[in-house]
């Protein structure tokens, strides 16, 4: 038996090696491929990526230029590391890079490509995106659910004010707020409520963090043909286990929702996303169901995961930067006091009148983009960009983290936190984050730009403004602002390696704080 396994393994390994050698010969015949570092036999550049690939690729771009090529196993990977290069791929050649490459995360966690994020570009992807835009992220939907976001932010303030003088896990508190605001809109209720709120929120955040960590791994099985079944890094095993946990959560939410409909509960027939999806499923015509329970669960996974961790991580980074720069924190508080005053909390309607707050958020997105390496895309056909051949089947990564540090684009202290660069008279006045200005694309650009951009941006601005307006902050444990740990923990999303823990002190009139929420 052992001999059979050995022969089988040797055969697969030989076939993989032969495939890669042949692929290498084909590449060598194409001398105008982008430049890049020489890789190892069979596995290519995979070992060179390191624990934080976005930083490794940033360093490589300094040697090989803004468009570089890696060989990860048998897969050509092209990395765009400048605004000009990103524009070529995501604007000029956007149609050619509108699908995703095969990957184990989409297969084993995201319901085998039945979701919005990893669905192939086509009719089903357009349908899912249209549903999200119409019922969650349109101007009307944003206005209809403004009271929900406001209510959750009041809960956030109430909870922090109750713990005045006690160290607060800023990211954890913001994550709970974000998740409950989102779930009220998506499934019609707060997922984390009552006495189990803290425990449930922590468990859910742990699941999302694990998902983002696994999704950020360059899995050998995705790149080396024939080795996937070995699961050398244990990634697929962990993905399958995590998928079962999410699937159980969503099955419970859907079952409870259907029971509410049968009982005639108001929220069961409400305007939340799940109610709408279930009605559309029921109303499908003779061509067959456009939506299945699997489609719905996959979409909930996208919304719950992408809409919570990315937002809370960005707010946490913004607060960390402001604590490190007390002069900027004071300047932001002065602006907020002049617009909002001391007798009430910030409202969403105040945000357009807070240019310095908006600049803080933009600068946070620049230095700490929630997705440092854009979700991968794949070339549908050969194309030429800046004189380089990009072969059909090549995977595209846009290094958003690198673009935000490009000294040719950000010549004024590119590594420093300077919100003033976005203000009137600043070099980058008028730059936005909506995919039009490629020097700042934290949500991506082109056809597959993040569908939740409007909500994500609104929530980051709203919560950041509220936290700095309602409270003064100091670090816990005698830690000084100058020595605050700003190390990154890489995953699909860019989280802090050390959670931000700080002590709040109320700074507004007593009547501004919610008494009972």
Q: How far apart are CA 287 and CA 135, in angstroms?
A: 23
Q: Which residues partner with 505 through β-bridges?
A: 472
Q: How far apart are CA 58 and CA 35, in angstroms?
A: 14
The one-digit pLDDT tens for each residue of the chain (517 residues) are 443 333 334 444 444 444 444 444 444 446 699 999 999 998 999 999 999 999 999 999 999 999 999 999 999 999 999 999 999 999 999 999 999 999 999 999 999 999 999 999 998 899 889 989 988 899 999 999 999 999 999 999 999 999 888 999 999 999 999 999 998 888 887 877 555 556 666 788 889 889 988 988 999 899 998 888 889 899 999 999 999 999 999 999 899 888 877 777 654 456 788 888 888 876 644 444 467 889 999 999 999 888 888 999 999 999 999 999 999 999 999 999 999 999 999 999 999 999 999 999 999 999 999 999 999 999 999 999 999 999 999 999 999 999 999 999 999 999 999 999 999 999 999 999 999 999 999 999 999 999 999 999 999 999 999 999 999 999 987 788 888 999 999 888 899 999 999 999 999 999 999 986 6
- Record the pTM: 0.91
Contacts of 200 (CB under 8 A, 6+ apart): 191, 192
- Report CA 105 to chain centroid distance, whole Å: 15
**Domains and their CATH numbers in the chain:** 32-512 (1.10.630.10)
- What long-range pairs does 347-353 form, CB within 8 A, spacing at least 24? 347/150, 348/146, 348/149, 348/150, 348/458, 348/462, 350/465, 351/458, 351/461, 351/462, 351/465
Neighbouring C-alpha atoms within 13 Å toward the C-beta of 137:
18
Q: Which residue reads 């070995």 in tokens?
A: 230
Residue 12 is predicted with a pLDDT of: 45
Known binding residue 383? Answer is: no
491: three-class secondary structure by DSSP: coil
DSSP 336: H
């Amino acid at each position: 038996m052992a001999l059979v396994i050995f022969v089988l393994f040797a055969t697969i390994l030989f076939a993989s090696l032969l495939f890669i050698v042949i692929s290498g010969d084909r590449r060598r015949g194409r001398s105008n491929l982008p430049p890049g570092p020489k890789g190892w036999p069979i596995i290519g550049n995979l070992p060179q990526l390191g624990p934080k690939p976005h930083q490794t690729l940033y360093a490589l771009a300094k040697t090989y230029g803004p468009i570089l090529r890696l060989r990860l196993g048998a897969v050509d990977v092209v990395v765009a590391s400048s605004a000009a290069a990103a524009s070529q791929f995501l604007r000029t050649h956007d149609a050619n890079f509108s699908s995703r490459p095969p990957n184990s995360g989409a297969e084993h966690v995201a319901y085998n490509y039945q979701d919005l994020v990893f669905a192939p570009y086509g009719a089903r992807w357009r349908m899912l995106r249209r549903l999200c835009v119409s019922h969650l992220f349109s101007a009307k939907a944003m206005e209809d659910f403004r009271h929900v976001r406001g209510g959750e932010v009041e809960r956030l303030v109430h909870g922090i004010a109750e713990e005045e003088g006690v160290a607060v896990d800023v990211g954890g508190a913001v994550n709970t707020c974000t998740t409950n605001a989102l779930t009220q809109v998506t499934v019609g209720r707060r997922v984390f409520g009552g006495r189990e709120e803290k425990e449930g929120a922590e468990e859910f955040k742990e699941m999302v963090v694990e998902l983002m960590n696994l999704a950020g791994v360059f899995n050998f099985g995705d790149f080396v043909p024939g080795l996937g079944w070995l699961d050398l890094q244990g990634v697929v095993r962990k993905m399958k286990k995590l998928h079962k946990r999410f699937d159980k959560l969503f099955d419970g939410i859907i079952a409870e929702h259907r029971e509410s409909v049968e009982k005639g509960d108001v929220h069961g027939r409400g305007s939340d996303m799940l109610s709408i999806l279930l009605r559309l499923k029921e109303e499908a015509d003779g061509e067959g169901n456009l939506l299945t329970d699997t489609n719905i669960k996959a979409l909930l996974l996208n919304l719950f995961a992408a809409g919570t961790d990315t937002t809370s991580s960005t707010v946490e980074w913004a607060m960390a930067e402001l604590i490190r720069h007390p002069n900027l924190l004071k300047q932001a508080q002065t602006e907020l006091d002049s617009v909002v005053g001391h007798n009430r909390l910030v409202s969403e309607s105040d945000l357009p009148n807070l240019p310095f707050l908006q600049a803080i958020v933009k600068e946070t997105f620049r230095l700490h983009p929630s997705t440092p390496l854009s979700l991968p895309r794949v070339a549908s056909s050969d194309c030429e960009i800046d004189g380089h051949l990009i072969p059909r089947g090549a995977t595209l990564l846009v290094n958003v983290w690198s673009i935000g540090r490009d000294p040719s684009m950000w010549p004024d202290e590119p590594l420093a936190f300077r919100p003033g660069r976005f203000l009137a008279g600043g070099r980058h006045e008028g730059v936005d984050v909506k995919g039009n200005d490629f020097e700042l694309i934290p949500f991506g650009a082109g056809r597959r730009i993040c569908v939740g951009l409007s909500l994500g941006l609104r929530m980051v601005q709203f919560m950041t403004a509220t936290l700095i307006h309602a409270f003064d902050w100091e670090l816990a444990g005698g830690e000084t602002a100058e020595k605050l740990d700003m190390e990154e923990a890489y995953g699909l999303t860019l989280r802090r390696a050390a959670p931000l823990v700080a002590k709040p002190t109320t700074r507004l009139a007593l009547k501004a704080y919610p008494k009972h929420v």
